Structure 1
Amino acid sequence: MSKGGVPGEAVLVEAPGTHRLVRHEPVPPGPGEALVRVHACGICGSDREILRGQRPDGYVRYPLVPGHEWSGTVLAVGPGVPGELVGRKTVGEGFRNCQVCARCRTGETTLCTAGYEETGFTRPGAMAATLTLPARLLHPLPDGADLSAAALLEPAACVAAAALKADVHPGERAAVVGTGTLGMLAVQFLAASSPAELLAVGVHDHRRALALGLGAGGFHVRDGTDGTDLPGGFDVVVETAGSAAAAREAAALLRRGGRLVLAGIPGPGAAGLDPTDLVVRQITVLTVFGAPPAAWAHAVRAFGAGLLTPAPLITHELPLRDFGQAIELVEAAAPETGKVLLRP
């Protein structure tokens, strides 16, 4: 089922700290399902947590084939799925929501009350030759789509959820705190809303040229102390760095009555935002964990329209056998390392 008809392989994390390459047997699609040939799968901090045993209880199930950021082509579909999907380039949602609880019925599928289930965490993921999943989770792409770039549409969908909550209006002043993959995607989404000013804020200067090339109008290197070096008066700030310090500094950027969207996930127990400051300045705080269908659709539309260009963020494409090296690249977080992809 893999390229050239050779039996495929998969990365298997047997337990924290233990992984190996195994033979992969495609799972035929059942009713309502689709079988996808994986083109590329991204590595993120969550995959590092899986390998290192740092994922919170209930948010991982071993042994596991990881991989939640992926792109591919539909190979086959099961009963009840339109046959015209076969051959289509696609990406797909990760959350395996129940569709029937009160939260799912209002479109808040990442808050499904049936419990947490997600591709690449509690269900087999895309670090394999193929992936079988419910066809309702697929988002077909244009025929000419760059599938390597499309592998970044999962983090892009999470950022799209943040952008939709930020609701930037033309002429507003906006900022993005964090200049990793999420931050650079956020710059593109916010730039599409025609803000009067768009500032990218990072801890190093090495992302300046990239941020400006993707739509930021300015770049600020924060000193990492108390945020007093930061400019202020912004209407909306999207935080993507995933640290308590970044959240505090993001709040410091805002005008009174401004909007703060937290898209990064800091470690548990971190001393973060000052509630007194939030109340006195009447700051609206919104958060993102995963992406509901509307955010996925938003990201895929932006990608298809050319408003979202993830390709410049990719710095490494490695074979599945280099999973360990890919994790080390992500852990090292060297300035020259951007998005790391695995190719089955």
Structure 2
Amino acid sequence: MTKAAVQLKADGPVEFIEVDVRPPGPGEVRVRMAAAGLCHTDVQALYGGVASMTMPPPAVAGHEGAGVVTEVGPGVLGPAVGDHVILSALGHDGTCEFCTDDHPSLCLRSLQLADPRTGNGPALSVDGTPVTPFGPLGTFTEETIVPAECAIAIDKAMPLDLACLIGCAVSTGVGAVRNRVTVRPGDHVAVLGCGGVGLNIVQAARRAGAGSVIAVDVSEEKLAAATAFGATHVIDARHVQVPDAVRAVTGPFGAHFTFESTGLTDCMVQAVSAIRPGGTAVLLGMAPSSSALALDNIADIILQEKVITGSLMGSGYSARDFPVLVREYLEGTLKLDELITRRRPLAEINEAIADLKSGTGLRTVFTF
């Protein structure tokens, strides 16, 4: 038995209760969680909005997590018992059409792992009823079972309460800059939404040598944080037309790259409007499944050769990227401490969700 934050009824609160954990099966490992971050996507999974992420109750959310491997199932070559690991919501087989075409974040194995009906089945149960996890993970639990390929071994010198953020906020933001596009020295970059993902876009763009990094948000707290993470300019979107404000910094053509991390369609339209001819708008925020993107002038997209693209969790390869990000933190070149606004016990998950919905703070991390 262990304790987990379980949503027992659709749209209901999350309850911190005892659950059963099955042994690890073939290709799986047992992980004792040390920390888990709360992301907006977790709230969407629990309370709806993105159809492909909806979890029927009972359900355990969470896709940012770090811990220690305590047991391995048959056939596991790594990680080993005692390894410190960051959990990844994406698996990679390295052989499918997307992996070999250099799109590992689209690996077909990830789609299989995300379906709890496949493989060895859900790791947790309540009174004999299987608990639906978030994809292959569900990190809001003191102990869990995950596919071995989703547990990435890292340097034990890395604090696990910071390491968990690499599983989504950090890898998604930094990876979008490094893997999805190529930001060159001197390029103008605008970042719409400066939460956990957006701040990591800011610091990655600055480290890539961007000439200007323009942070856009409606929160003074988040704009101040963006400055600390390397933004050269900030825009309070409550008081201006964002594309015009971006061009006031970049000159009349606009940004080379915009990154949209809020999931709000109005912000996505602004991101497209703010790029220059030949520029790229990168969409990262998850919008509700029913959303449609209404662009004013499709002809401009064609005539100005603008690019609109998505980026899933940094468009990267977790086994390669996570250890690199850990090393950068340990070397002092990657900011992580400043991302955490508050550490809470998992029993306070409903309070943390309320903070997230209200826009309070940057990132909450649950510590075990």
TM-score (norm 1): 0.87
Deviations 1:60-79 (A, max 9, x none): 34322211111111112223
Task: Work out whether residues 185 and 308 of structure 1, in 8 Å CA contact, stay in contact via their aligned partners in 2.
Answer: no
Whether 2:275 is the aligned partner of 1:281: answer no
Whether 2:366 is the aligned partner of 1:333: answer no
Q: Which amino acid aligns with 1:200?
A: A
Q: Which amino acid aligns with 1:69?
A: E
Deviations 1:183-220 (A, max 9, x none): 10111111221122222122233323321221222222
Q: How does 1:142-291 map to 2 (within 5 A)?
A: 142-153=155-166, 154-163=168-177, 164-222=179-237, 223=239, 225=241, 227-231=243-247, 232=250, 233-267=254-288, 268-274=290-296, 275-291=298-314
Task: Work out whether residues 160 and 295 of structure 1, in 8 Å CA contact, stay in contact via their aligned partners in 2.
Answer: no
Q: What is the total number of aligned residue pairs between the two structures? A: 336
Shift of 1:277: 2.5
Q: Which amino acid aligns with 1:89?
A: H
Shift of 1:45: 1.8
Task: Work out whether residues 172 and 197 of structure 1, in 8 Å CA contact, stay in contact via their aligned partners in 2.
Answer: yes
Matches of 2:255 and 2:342 in 1, distance apart? Answer: 35
Matches of 1:158 and 1:183 in 2, distance apart? Answer: 9
What residue is the counterpart of 2:122 in the other structure?
Answer: none
Matches of 2:90 and 2:344 in 1, distance apart? Answer: 26
Shift of 1:257: 0.8
Shift of 1:279: 1.6
Counterparts in 2 of 1:257 and 1:299: CA distance versus 1, 3 Å: farther
What residue is the counterpart of 1:3 in the other structure?
Answer: none
Q: 1:323 aligns with which of 335, 340, 349?
A: 349
Q: Which amino acid aligns with 2:244?
A: T
What residue is the counterpart of 2:66 in the other structure?
Answer: 71
Counterparts in 2 of 1:229 and 1:104: CA distance versus 1, 3 Å: closer
> Which is further off, 222-231 or 131-140?
222-231
Deviations 1:160-192 (A, max 9, x none): 331121211122222212111111011111122
Task: Flag structure 2 segments of 5+ consecutive residues without an equivalent.
Answer: 117-132
Taking every aligned residue pair, what percent have the same amino acid on both sides?
24
What residue is the counterpart of 1:4 in the other structure?
Answer: none
Name the SS of the counterpart of 1:259 in structure 2: strand
Task: Work out whether residues 173 and 197 of structure 1, in 8 Å CA contact, stay in contact via their aligned partners in 2.
Answer: yes
Matches of 1:20 and 1:208 in 2, distance apart? Answer: 34
Shift of 1:128: 0.8
